[in-house]
Structure 1
């Protein structure tokens, strides 16, 4: 009998992260989630206030990604580490998704300034300042969270610690593309993280997931958005992708969030999967995971 696999999911209490934890529990893995708030607010991720049965098999840990002393010990003995953190808007994007804040207000905040533009990645700062640790200035509050910090620097920081602890596989949840209404830095910081982690930590099998827009009935606002994006994807297909550059993720077929989560866990376990995992491969992996669950 093979030893139980151990996975640590940073951002495991989020929309996708919680489903990754669920899929890992289904494989009888030892699962730890790390986030600032610990266990999820179930109403926002599953649409219910009642924790599902599988959640009791997850260790919901509190830690700040920008304070490594709070979480590095959790990496010891881990087979897989997943970075499922990030921000869509440099604003209260969760408030936008849940309806607490209007999309217009969120977009105005997102475009109010290029808060982190031209900020070097933490490994470049480390070399420039002749230190032995990545240089990251932790945000003092939510208003200081930028694409550079959340989408890029936190991933590089986590990858460095994962490599130092001998983790064999590092998964990074990136994105299929931007969208006409999002600043370009949203996707460029994701791409920078992919490139730096792949280049700097070759001892780990890096798997970079590029999911499209994800939807689920637990977040009712995602359903009409998914329908619009499915229409955009169909139009893009009929026109040979002529508007791919403009539509970004809006021109890519949306996927159910559970589909992406199943694909992530399947890819982590499959030693033949490495590098970029685009939407078609996500669907193949999810289908394979589903077939295994039927055995």
Structure 2
């Protein structure tokens, strides 16, 4: 049985990847700082810090494939609790949500390389979470990986004009670096906004419905929000997770898996 290691396996997408991989008969280890909670008894939950390779080198040496499902859309990560919470919790969560939308101040001349210092004020930065963590992990896996071992990086489609441009920039920087790693077959999965199609009451699902509505407006949406504003339709997290797992076993899948490709995959598998 092949062994998949999922970094960020307790997150919204990560836990769906874990479940999909188990159904596809993979042995699965989820790696996160906490290691817990145990969301699926058939998976192994392991505590490690992606920025501290010695804490997970033993796990990587046993892996046939690795998925990097970490990162942040906003540098204030409070938005995650807001999106995954119910509507009833929205009033008390509004301050955190609004603070998440505060963009980077262009008057503050941040050097992206500062993220490498590990300073506390950089611990949640786009550079550190979206880019550096993936590069560190890929380099470590490349040291022990068999030839063309799959390394799936959860990137993103350029779908939201409200998000700081550094979000997409750091994703693309990571893709470029990962593509150059030896011994790996890099796959860059680029979903848009993801929601749970199982019908939970989380705010995330209502946002997904709104994103789909705006995305399907086409020219009308452009006239309402401006021609330069591009809202892509949202996509079920289950579709993305299944596509990730399928890419692990299909050697023909290499490089970018776009949102359009994910949407086509969804129509083929439903």
TM-score of Structure 1 vs Structure 2, range by shorter chain: 0.7 to 0.9
In 2, distance between residues paired with 1:68 and 1:158? 8
Aligned with 2:82 (options 96, 104, 110): 96
Deviation for aligned residue 1:138: 3.1
In 1, distance between residues paired with 2:44 and 2:203? 29
Is the aligned partner of 1:158 residue 2:137? yes
Deviations 1:177-204 (A, max 9, x none): 1422211101110111011111x31431
Deviation for aligned residue 1:113: 7.2
1:121–1:280 CA distance, 2 compared to 1 (3 A): farther
Unaligned runs of 5+ in 1: 42-50, 123-135
Deviation for aligned residue 1:219: 5.4
Query: Superposed, which structure 2 residues align to 1:15-26 within 5 Å?
Result: 15-26=12-23
With the length of structure 2 as denominator, give the TM-score of the two structures. 0.84
8 Å CA contact 2:222–2:228 kept in 1: the answer is: no
Deviation for aligned residue 1:229: 1.1
Deviation for aligned residue 1:238: 6.8
1:94–1:284 CA distance, 2 compared to 1 (3 A): same
Aligned with 2:99 (options 67, 84, 105): 105
Deviation for aligned residue 1:28: 1.4
1:173–1:158 CA distance, 2 compared to 1 (3 A): same
8 Å CA contact 1:85–1:150 kept in 2: the answer is: yes
> Which has the larger displacement, 92-101 or 181-190?
92-101
Deviation for aligned residue 1:118: 3.4
Aligned with 2:118 (options 124, 138, 145): 138
Partner of residue 128, structure 1: none
Secondary structure of 1:33's match? strand
Partner of residue 273, structure 1: 253
8 Å CA contact 2:142–2:182 kept in 1: the answer is: no
Partner of residue 54, structure 2: 69
With the length of structure 1 as denominator, give the TM-score of the two structures. 0.78
In 1, distance between residues paired with 2:36 and 2:265? 27
Partner of residue 25, structure 2: 28
Is the aligned partner of 1:213 residue 2:193? yes
Query: Superposed, which structure 2 residues align to 1:120-269 within 5 Å?
Result: 120=113, 136-140=116-120, 144-167=123-146, 168-198=149-179, 200-216=180-196, 217-218=199-200, 220-236=202-218, 245-247=228-230, 251-269=231-249
In 1, distance between residues paired with 2:30 and 2:7? 6
Deviations 1:136-195 (A, max 9, x none): 433547x73100000000000000001011151110000111422211101110111011
1:218–1:35 CA distance, 2 compared to 1 (3 A): farther
In 2, distance between residues paired with 1:30 and 1:256? 24
In 2, distance between residues paired with 1:155 and 1:82? 9
8 Å CA contact 2:6–2:67 kept in 1: the answer is: yes
RMSD: 2.8
8 Å CA contact 2:67–2:151 kept in 1: the answer is: yes
Deviation for aligned residue 1:227: 1.7
8 Å CA contact 2:82–2:203 kept in 1: the answer is: no
Deviation for aligned residue 1:70: 0.6
Aligned residues: 256
